[in-house]
Structure 1
Amino acid sequence: MEFCDECGSMMKADEELWVCGSCGNKQPKNPDANYVLTDDQEVSEVIETGAGDSGLPTTSAQCPNCDNDRAHWYMQQIRAADESETRFFVCTECEHKWREDDH
């Protein structure tokens, strides 16, 4: 990731150049740098469940699917940056997923 020397905005890769989407400034890429895009940078965050410990914290929450009273939870930004994050729950029994505002 590179930032524009002129305006400080994040630059986008275009062939052998970094191009600023805000001011149009162009900078050559460093030929000695190793720019690698890994698979996990291409995909949004995925929460895996069902394979043992999910690593997520648990809380008291009533599952709308099976009435279990425990669920894992995580926060995720799904709207614009100026909006608050949304809390998601995953039932510890049936792995049903729901959002805090779903019920």
Structure 2
Amino acid sequence: MSTVTFKTDPGFCPDCGSILPLLVNVGGVACYSCKRNWGIEVFGDMAVSYTLNFNSKDAYASSARQGEAADDEDEAEGPVVERRCPQCQNDKMSYATLQLRSADEGQTVFYTCTKCRFKETENS
């Protein structure tokens, strides 16, 4: 039985032509399709680099002043609508929607008061 070797681009299996996984261990890389093992040279002179960016520890903190309620629509968590907050009686709330129930039912709407940050939900 003879094997056929393809002329392939770096990153493809020379035996079967499948894309090789980038997970390279000490012994090289194994093709998922034909199970043949290849050395790192099968990737040619391809260089793979990763850049990891880390957020600062307060990146997700509210842009509002700490301990104070935000009263500005620019700091809302989504589009703002006229809806009365049951807690502070503010007349503006931001909202976001998600499809949490089955597809033939309505969305769930999450409202957040722009003043006191009170949250409530509504199944529409």
TM tier, shorter chain? 0.3 to 0.5
When normalised by structure 2's length, the TM-score is 0.40
**Which one has a larger percent strand, Structure 1 or Structure 2?**
1
